[in-house]
Amino acid sequence: MPCSGGRALDIEFDFLAHVLRFRVSDGAARDVPLGARSVRQLYEDTFGVLQQLRIPCVISPIPNEIPEETPPLDRDETHRHYDADAVQRFWRILSLSEDVLTTFRARFIGKSSPVHFYWGSFDLTVTRFSGRRAPARPDADAITREAYSHEVSSVGFWPGDSRVPFPAYYSYAAPEPGGFADARVSPTGARYAAEAGYYLLPYDDVRCAADPAAALLEFCQSTYEAAATLGGWDRTSLER
């Protein structure tokens, strides 16, 4: 990230050493240990390091995309547990999933997003675009209108929440073409969640498969094919 004085800043979660690592292009570096402490304390430690590095920074302390009532970051004394083993295993799931999603992305020569992680909803995703504009969403917020200004097929990993209480891979099309919910997708275990509007494949189904990477790639491909075929995408021009 560009910062003051023509410098650049990198902040990295290191889930092997369990530190939050700050690196500046002028050679300055700091580590904040990750461990059992309140969110407020981690917030203060983080901004204390930025102050030491002479990097002015202002953020909104209000958590985003969390359905439950959660205190602002700078006042949260409730959440103070850090399970290093669980955190590291979650990171490994993201790392292994990114590898498969990158392979899937490479099969497409139309416009696609990088494989990226959303800090709000905590999901890893990659999106393919048909190249055609989508119907306008006048009632949506500005970010949603921009995100879905063109037809998309998106797939990714999500740790779940109160609505989907288990980790899963998901896939959806926007706008959703007719018949998408009834399409034949694979592998066994993938199902359309009508209440949410996307296909789900439980993470445990992939983890326990004879070839987990192949199972995930099959889910990515079959759900995309359902979206692209039913949506009338120019697949000949878009696919490798």
Integer Cα distance of 233 and 235 in angstroms: 5
Question: Are 59 and 111 contained in the same domain?
Answer: no
**What does the mean pLDDT of the chain come to?**
95
Q: Give the confidence band of 67 by pLDDT, cuts at 50, 70, 90.
A: low
Question: Are 137 and 233 contained in the same domain?
Answer: yes
Overall average pLDDT of the 18-42 stretch: 96
Overall average pLDDT of the 173-185 stretch: 97
Per-residue tokens: 24: 């500046």
Question: Are 56 and 151 contained in the same domain?
Answer: no
Question: Are 50 and 95 contained in the same domain?
Answer: no
Q: Measuring CA to CA, how many Å separate 135 from each of 143, 171, 175, 228? A: 15, 20, 8, 17
Point out the domain boundary residue: 75, 102, 121. 75
Question: Are 59 and 99 contained in the same domain?
Answer: no
Question: Are 64 and 89 contained in the same domain?
Answer: no
Tens digit of pLDDT for each residue in 194-230? 988 999 999 999 999 999 999 999 999 999 999 999 9
* % helix, strand, coil for the chain, step of 5: 35, 25, 40
Question: Are 69 and 12 contained in the same domain?
Answer: yes
Point out the domain boundary residue: 25, 54, 75. 75
Q: Contact 57/50 with Cβ under 8 angstroms?
A: yes
Buried b / exposed e over 14-50, threshold 16 CB at 10 Å, is ebeeebbebbbeeeeebeeebeebbbbebbeebeebb
Tens digit of pLDDT for each residue in 51-63? 999 999 999 999 8
Q: Give the confidence band of 66 by pLDDT, cuts at 50, 70, 90.
A: confident
- Nearest CA among 183, 182, 174, 191 for reference residue 128: 174
Q: Measuring CA to CA, how many Å separate 227 from each of 15, 35, 90, 176? A: 36, 43, 29, 7
**Count: domains in the chain:** 2
Question: Are 108 and 54 contained in the same domain?
Answer: no
Domain coverage including residue 21: 4-75
Which percentage of the chain shows pLDDT scores above 70?
Answer: 99
Question: Are 118 and 213 contained in the same domain?
Answer: yes
End-to-end CA distance of the chain: 34
pLDDT at 232 over 70: yes
